[in-house]
């Protein structure tokens, strides 16, 4: 990503009505560290639920996979520490696996390789650094059947129809006998969801505010972050969790030489974290053109790892 794209996206978003920013820009160095803190918050139940499924339901998932050899391709793999549980189970079930983690960050892929070397010595790991919208092309020519992993509820950060577009895009690189394995946060009690995005320690607020700090640093901005508050809402009908920053006062802010005006209590939409029911997932699977699906949930039914079969 060039500074140009960042600048264009930020200015366009802040000049729109309603104002908006893009959560993909949360993850600079400080934002990534704050996200790690979020992952350890007691209210942010998602990682624990997904890990429970990967640890305790891996065998049930593998029972649905008929072939002996698989390429396991992971989109936005990060350090792969959760995925290691699934790969370990694959090996125990005598599957021959090549693990292909895709991530924008070469540094995190080195950490991923090291974790796999320690936890699963002998596993064949072929990392590919770059934007997975580009690097996915490299895997369609491979001969082994594929399991494409997209974990961590990352699908929830796509707005509306874009989630379905993305799943269709991934499917265009898949063939008969391949599987898409999607980690999805499920609809549940609204208060449980809201608490995950409005933690009392204020880490999620810092995570959102950090994007204003980033704009100040990289785009010569002068946001006074104390003049903004964080607000999250959850709509139990649509399943949309939306995060906003609210301007507490009327103010003018300069970014990249442009003046932006905020009315009192004007909101900037920061992020959507969409929640799905299993029924919603069945519909998405069908609309994306997959044949069948299987859902594997944790003991509280908070989270699903759903397997879509081509």
Residues that bind ligand AVI in the complex, under the rule CB under 6 A: 38, 46, 152-154, 156-157, 197, 204, 207, 271, 273
Shortest Cβ distance from residue 41 to ligand AVI (Å)? 9
Task: Rank residues 122 and 200 by Cβ distance to ligand AVI and give the closer one.
Answer: 200
Shortest Cβ distance from residue 35 to ligand AVI (Å)? 7
Shortest Cβ distance from residue 15 to ligand AVI (Å)? 24
Radius of gyration of the chain (CA): 20
Shortest Cβ distance from residue 49 to ligand AVI (Å)? 12
Enter the tokens of residue 12. Answer: 């366009």
Task: Rank residues 70 and 234 by Cβ distance to ligand AVI and give the closer one.
Answer: 234
HEC letters along the chain: CCHHHHHHHHHHHHHCCCEECCHHHHCCHHHHHHHHHHHCCCCCCHHHHHHHHHHHCHHHHHCCCCCCEEEEEEECCCCCCCHHHHHHHHHHCCCEEEEEEEECCHHHHHHHHHHHHHHCCCCEECCEECCHHHHHHHHCCCCCCEEEEECCCHHHHCCCCHHHHHHHHHHCCCCCCCEEEEEEEECCCHHHHHHHCCCCCCHHHHHHHHHHHHHHHHCCCCCCHHHEEEEEEECCCCCEEEEEEEECCCEEEEECCEEEEECCCCEEEEEEEECECHHHHHHHHHHCCCCEEEEEECCCCCEEEEEEEC
Shortest Cβ distance from residue 133 to ligand AVI (Å)? 17
Contact 72, 54 (CB under 8 A): no
Of 57, 13, 53, nearest to 185 (Cα)? 53
Q: What is the Cα–Cα distance from 305 to 58, expressed in whole angstroms?
A: 10
Shortest Cβ distance from residue 226 to ligand AVI (Å)? 21
Task: Rank residues 82 and 178 by Cβ distance to ligand AVI and give the closer one.
Answer: 82
Q: What is the Cα–Cα distance from 110 to 126, expressed in whole angstroms?
A: 11
Task: Rank residues 273 and 304 by Cβ distance to ligand AVI and give the closer one.
Answer: 273
Task: Rank residues 135 and 153 by Cβ distance to ligand AVI and give the closer one.
Answer: 153
Shortest Cβ distance from residue 203 to ligand AVI (Å)? 8
Task: Rank residues 153 and 297 by Cβ distance to ligand AVI and give the closer one.
Answer: 153
Shortest Cβ distance from residue 204 to ligand AVI (Å)? 5
| Residue nearest to ligand AVI according to CB distances in the complex | 273
Task: Rank residues 117 and 300 by Cβ distance to ligand AVI and give the closer one.
Answer: 300
Task: Rank residues 266 and 271 by Cβ distance to ligand AVI and give the closer one.
Answer: 271
């Amino acid at each position: 990503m060039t500074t140009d794209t960042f600048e264009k996206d930020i200015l366009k978003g802040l000049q729109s009505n309603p104002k908006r920013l893009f959560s993909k820009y949360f993850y600079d160095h400080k934002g990534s560290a704050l996200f790690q803190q979020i992952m350890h918050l007691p209210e942010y139940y998602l990682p624990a639920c997904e890990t429970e499924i990967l640890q305790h339901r891996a065998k049930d998932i593998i029972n649905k996979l008929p072939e002996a050899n698989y390429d396991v391709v992971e989109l936005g793999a990060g350090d792969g520490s959760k995925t290691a549980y699934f790969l370990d189970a694959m090996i125990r079930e005598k599957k021959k696996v090549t693990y292909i983690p895709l991530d924008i960050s070469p540094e995190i892929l080195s950490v991923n390789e090291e974790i796999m070397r320690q936890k699963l010595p002998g596993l064949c790991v072929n990392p590919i650094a770059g934007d997975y919208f580009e690097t996915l092309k490299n895997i369609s020519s491979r001969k082994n059947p594929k399991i494409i992993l997209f974990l961590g509820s990352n699908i929830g950060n796509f707005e509306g129809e874009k989630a379905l577009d993305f799943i269709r895009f991934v499917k265009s690189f898949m063939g008969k006998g391949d599987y898409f394995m999607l980690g999805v946060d499920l609809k549940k009690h609204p208060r449980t969801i809201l608490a995950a995005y409005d933690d009392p320690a204020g880490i999620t607020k810092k995570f959102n505010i950090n994007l204003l700090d980033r704009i100040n640093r990289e785009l010569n901005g002068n946001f006074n972050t104390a003049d903004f508050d964080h607000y999250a809402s959850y709509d139990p009908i649509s399943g949309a969790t939306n995060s906003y920053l609210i301007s507490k006062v009327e103010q003018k802010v300069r970014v990249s030489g442009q003046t932006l005006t905020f009315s009192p209590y004007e909101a900037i939409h920061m992020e959507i974290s969409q929640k799905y029911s299993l029924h919603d997932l069945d519909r998405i699977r069908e609309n994306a053109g997959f044949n069948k699906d299987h859902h594997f949930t944790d003991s509280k039914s908070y989270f699903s790892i759903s397997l879509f079969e081509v």
